[in-house]
Structure 1
Amino acid sequence: MTCLFLCAARTACSCTCQMRATIIAAISNLSTAYNLVNVNLTNEIMENEFCNGAHCNASIAATSTACLAGAIFGQLTFGYVGDWLGRGPALYLTMVMSTTGALVSAFAVPLNPRDPTSVFIFLSIARFILGIGVGGVYPLAATVAAEGSSSSNRGRSVALVFSMQGVGQLLVPVVGMICLYTFGDGMEHEKTKTVMNVKGLSWRLILGLGALPGILLMPFQRADSQAARPDTSQAPSMLQALSNRAYWRSILGCAGGWFLFDITFYGNSLFAPAILQDVFHVDTGSSTPVIGSKLQNNLCWQLAILALLGLPGYYVSVCFMDRLGRKNIQIQGFGMMAMLYTILAAFLDGMEDLPALLLFVYGLTYFFSNFGPNSTTFILPSESFPQHVRSSLNGFCAAMGKTGAVVGSSMFKPLITAAGTSFVFICCAVCALLGIIVTIFCVDDRRGQDMMGESEESLSQSREDPFIEASDCSR
């Protein structure tokens, strides 16, 4: 009877610990998404304040890519830390980094008083620090969610954690509208009524509020960070893991698909304002409208509509991830993206008098990104590699994704200027077609299968041990 009671207590504690870990992973993912894309709004506000409109494209590009560069470093570093130190402690460290970076970003000032645009140098440094923490969340959140799920519902559980990215992206224009309609954008030309008009306050709040999830999570993560360090005798270095030929095909499938997808996804997300201006044929003049009275001149509403059109895609993925499988969802997602980008490239000029239709079709690219490779690339690495290298190789695949994001974010705005938005959409369609090829030949359908490399001996030992240790929650 005592054994039954202890087993029941252990099961209840295990479920509680895993639920806590999953919630932490989900909120961490929300924080990651918000902090990555809030710059696409604040850049436009800061351009108006410090550059008198779109006259500092190089500085804006550097600010946009600094966080991505930091994310690559964080993914490579904290992916390995997750295997070496434990998932919980590593996730705690990533939130410390991202919280610090977000807070410092809110206090950005020009480094050179004679050059107002030097504020973007300060912001780039702060967002690089932010990116290190943001990047580390990717492999750790996915691994925590996957390892705590059964084989029958693993896809749904990890996809549900990842869906918080959509919530984070929607929060950017929502928080932006609250701040801008309350405090204004600081521009004298502003015609929209606001409670007050304080220069610089809105973009500082939008950036600084990115620290709030981390601040709220820290008390709950601290217990995990103090847990005993796991056995690392089987944890090889990143180079050792990458040199193992047994993983090469899966690495190509997971990392390659993520790289190609993020070229399109982050290129569009970070430079959606530039694309939307061209889509709506807005003559911005000396400054970019962010809260105008019409949809064509209200960037916040445009970004909110895009986020709302894309958000259901996350939850459709949650519903079908275990039924259709990751591979099939990724193929259909890439396929629909290729078709939609081709339509946009071919008929962009012809639909110039139908801005609502253009916005809807453009929004569908986000829907099928989310009901497609955006969700699957997050899940695949966590179940394609053995436990002792799972977090490390997950981090490497995520880093290759963010490398693609750097490519997209650094090239999209110059390409729009040089060749037009239609050419950018053609490039996106080509990336999607290449993603289909990589997925077909290099991705395995592992739905319903056990996680690779789990130790049956360790699992049986945990079932036999009726005592509950605090370290049970560490991973």
Structure 2
Amino acid sequence: MAKEQLQVLNALDVAKTQWYHFTAIVIAGMGFFTDAYDLFCISLVTKLLGRIYYHNPGDGKPGTLPPNVSAAVNGVAFCGTLTGQLFFGWLGDKMGRKRVYGMTLMCMVICSIASGLSFGHESKSVMTTLCFFRFWLGFGIGGDYPLSATIMSEYANKKTRGAFIAAVFAMQGFGILTGGMVAIVVSAAFKSAFPAPAYATDALASTPQQADYVWRIILMFGAIPALMTYYWRMKMPETARYTALVAKNAKQAAADMSRVLQVEVEAEQEKVETRDSKNSFGLFSREFLRRHGLHLLGTTSTWFLLDIAFYSQNLFQKDIFSAIGWIPAASKMSAIQEVSKIARAQTLIALCSTVPGYWFTVFFIDKIGRFAIQLMGFFFMTVFMFALAIPYNHWTHKDNRIGFVIMYSLTFFFANFGPNATTFVVPAEIFPARLRSTCHGISAAAGKAGAIVGSFGFLYAAQSKDRTKTDKGYPPGIGVRNSLLVLGVVNFLGILFTFLVPESNGKSLEEMSRENEGEDETGSELRTQGGHDSSRTVPI
């Protein structure tokens, strides 16, 4: 039999949009701004690292990072992120969301600065130090995913909850955009300070000694927004759902939310203490498997598949743009000019497609629902990937490059007006409060496993063009073409696994997690539905 909702939770569900909602979005969102900046700014400077530390004066060509070093530099932060998502997700349910929220931010601040200060007399020691600090940077970033999503979902009202959580995630787009802008400004400043002849565009594509400062400044800049929000994170009260449902302190929950909502909320300690103990199953219990097993499979699989495609595209835009000739050959640019060219290309993509995609989701997620947006996004990503890959030689012709860039941009638009946002939102809504942060962390970690597959796999696939050209006579770029075909298949699989994810639009968190249901009612319902929520409604 369904239990009556606690007054403090009902007050949150029906609360009108207030100033504290926007405050929470900014505080949590700035973490994601920093996350995106730190994760994606490395792609702006990897070619510069190759020129500085792996240049061979004897061959007359710009230096490049060896494949194993490039894979490590690009992918090590994802390994740290995966670990952080699992650890801090679990810790957020054990200690509370707020108590560990500051830890993740300080980890990001310290490691951003330390990454830019990577030291050593030889290239190997510098790269090793950089990878070490980027792993721990990723560890802090990983904690931000489950904590920010859970905090925002537990603060929001049920009418606009999807938009609020999506708005937190949308700050990622501004982080990507800012990374490109910072790289443009820093490279322009150094280019002005150290003009020709240091920047003669000969075959050696000169790399001045001062270029070593460029990548360090770009990486360290990520510490600034994180540091600016630390104080405000520590001022946020613990969420009422954690305090009441997990910590079992209804009095504190009512006091916190009375202050936040500026209304009187009655403390209902007796209701909290008499909640059905049989409804307090654990993550590895048969009851969890019956209620939420398919849901967790849906959130983990779709996030895994999405991130293979999304992070491959983001991290290796520079390789794709070089392959189609949108960015000139490295031998025709100085090292800092190359940073500027790559940053401009990525900033243009972010401005025209990535950022708008995020905010389309914010505006429409509570109107058409999570399921419809995710299905639509995966569908169009599949279509555009195949449209780029199948006639790939057509797009590499210089007269067709603009068309390639437009279609490539549309894959970013529908990734963000699609599964990149919804895979973040849904796991924060459909699991019980005592397991919400943990399950979101597991789902996000599955996504980062996909990012690792994408970052390492795409790197080797894209670089296979040189071997295929030499050994089999294939045209340049065949590795990029095959990679786009694989990503098209991955997106198609995402369409299929989306059908495991329930629609949470317009429902309270307790409705989705069934925390207010008695054991008898839940058991009979699950026997009828086979453990899966069959009440999905997709507005058309």
**TM-score in terms of structure 2 length:** 0.75
User: Residues of 1 paired with 2:200 and 2:151: CA distance?
Assistant: 48
Aligned to 1:47: 50
Q: Which residue of 1 aligns with 2:177?
A: 170
The one-letter code of the counterpart of 2:97 is R
Note closer, same or farther for the CA distance 1:373–1:227 as it changes in structure 2 (3 Å cut).
closer
Counterpart residue type for residue 104 of structure 1: A
Q: After TM superposition, give the deviation of residue 291 of structure 1 in Å.
A: 2.9
Write the distance in 2 (CA, Å) between the matches of 1:171 and 1:97: 21
Indicate if the aligned counterparts of 1:80 and 1:395 stay in contact, CA closer than 8 A.
Answer: yes
Query: Shift in Å at residue 67 of structure 1?
Result: 0.5
CA distance in 1, matches of 2:357, 2:379: 15
Structure 1 spans left out of the alignment, 5+ residues: 1-7, 458-475
* Percent of matched pairs sharing the same residue: 30
Pick from 440, 448, 461 the counterpart of residue 394 of structure 1.
Answer: 440
For residues 58 and 252 of structure 1, what CA distance do their matches in structure 2 show? 32
2:139 is equivalent to residue 94 of structure 1: no
Q: Is residue 280 of structure 1 aligned with residue 325 of structure 2?
A: yes
In 2, Cα distance between equivalents of 1:245 and 1:286: 61
* 1:208-231: CA deviation from partner (whole Å, max 9, x where unpaired): 011111211122223349999944
The answer (yes or no) to whether the contact 2:97–2:238 under 8 Å persists in 1 is: no
TM-superposed CA distance for 1:189, in Å, is 5.7
Question: Is there any run of 5+ residues in structure 2 with no aligned partner, and where?
Answer: 1-10, 56-62, 202-207, 249-276, 465-477, 518-540
Cα distance per residue 1:83-122 (max 9 Å; x no partner): 1111122221110111111010010123xx3x32331111
Shift of 1:34: 0.6
- How many angstroms apart in 2 are the aligned matches of 1:369 and 1:36? 17
CA distance in 2, matches of 1:288, 1:381: 46
CA contact (8 A) 2:154 2:239 kept: no
**Partner residue, 1:64:** 74
Q: 2:298 aligns with which of 253, 257, 267?
A: 253
- Paired position in structure 1 for 2:274: none
Aligned equivalent of 1:217: 229
The answer on whether the counterparts of 1:289 and 1:298 sit within 8 Å (CA) in structure 2 is no
- The residue aligned with 1:116 is 123
**CA separation of 1:261/1:455 partners in 2, compared to 1, >3 Å: closer, same or farther?**
closer
Q: How does 1:406-417 map to 2 (within 5 A)?
A: 406-417=452-463
1:307 is matched with: 350
Asked if 1 retains the 8 angstrom alpha-carbon contact of 2:46 and 2:65, the reply is no
Are the equivalent residues in 2 in contact too, given 1:334–1:432 (CA < 8 A)? yes
Cα distance between partner residues in 1 of 2:230 and 2:282: 28
Contact 2:151 2:239 in 1 (8 A): no
Task: State the alpha-carbon separation in 2 of the partners of residues 20 and 315 from structure 1.
Answer: 18
Tell me by how many angstroms 1:269 deviates: 1.0
Answer yes or no: is the 8 Å Cα contact 1:321–1:329 preserved in 2. yes
Look up the equivalent residue of 2:417 and give its one-letter code.
F
**Aligned in 2, Cα 1:46/1:147: closer, same or farther, shift over 3 Å?**
same
Find the structure with the greater CA-based Rg. 2
After TM superposition, the runs of 4+ consecutive aligned structure 1 residues lying more than 6 A away are 185-188, 225-229, 233-237, 454-457
Pairing partner for 1:444 from 475, 479, 502: 502
Distance 1:364 1:197 in 2: 39
| Distance in 2 (alpha carbons) for counterparts of 1:102 and 1:382 | 27
Distance 2:87 2:286 in 1: 14
Distance 1:190 1:35, change over 3 A: same
What SS is found at the alignment partner of 1:190?
coil
Q: Cα–Cα, structure 1 residues 148 and 55, in superposed 2: closer, same or farther, change >3 Å?
A: closer
**1:330 correspondence with 2:374:** yes
Q: Distance in 1 between matches of 2:282 and 2:333?
A: 49
- Partner Cα separation in structure 1 for residue 175 and residue 446 of structure 2: 22
Whichever residue aligns with residue 275 of structure 1, its letter is: I
Deviation at 1:454, TM superposition (A): 7.7
Instruction: Write the distance in 2 (CA, Å) between the matches of 1:207 and 1:374.
Output: 24
